[in-house]
Amino acid sequence: MTGGSGGIGSAVARRLADAGMAVAVHYAGASARAAEVVESITAAGGTTFAAPGDIAEPEAMTRVFDAAEQRFGGVDVVVNTAGIMLLAPVADTDLDTFDRMHRVNVRGTFVVSQLAARRLRPGGALINFSTSITRLQQPTYGAYAATKGAVEAMTLVLARELRGRDVTVNAVAPGPTATPLFLEGKSAELVERIAAASPLGRLGTPEDIASAVAFLAGPDGRWINGQVIFANGGAA
């Protein structure tokens, strides 16, 4: 899985390991956090290893897939949580900022999806990550939402392209989730207002999102294909 050192990514890695899956924890620069995730999974009796790589570079991600195949005998589930979010009004967004998000969120997702399409075994699953912001349409999220709209489009098309392969392709679109990245720079009052906007009266947790991923990755999710699952507690 990509982005395995992040707040949601690490929760997904642990949840899949708890379900008995061997997990390759990909990371870009956060080697210490990736090592912590690997250590926690190993301590709980799971099978895992950490693999670095630039998500937007096919050669780097090919090495990650190769390592997973060599260690585990094949690749059955790919979860693509890696992404970045840089916020500004559309009128004020620097194009270098937009290009940086596009490189990670769109090109990176495309690179990993392409490899998954070629290498997932029958019965496998690809789970990409979008965002509920594509529905919430909040100011300052325009460039970020644009990258995730592209992720949704390629995900839904790929599900149709893999007809006959017995591989499902879906996306999970989290709503506001209590990760360090989300909470950074927000006042307690703002966080409370965002939480109150949900019918359930709280923020999501990384474990909430991991549950949605585990469903799609497991046997109970085999009839869900070509869908965007909005895991947001009804906030959008």
Helices 108-119 and 142-161, packing angle to 10 deg: 10
Paired tokens of 96: 């270098």
The b/e string for 163-197 (b: 16+ C-beta within 10 A; e otherwise) is eeeebbbbbbbbbbbbbeebeeeeeeeeeeebbeb
Do the beta carbons of residue 34 and residue 14 sit within 8 Å?
no
Give me the active site residues, please.
Answer: 144
CA angle in degrees (0–180, nearest 5) for 52-58-59: 65
CB 97 within 8 A of CB 54: no
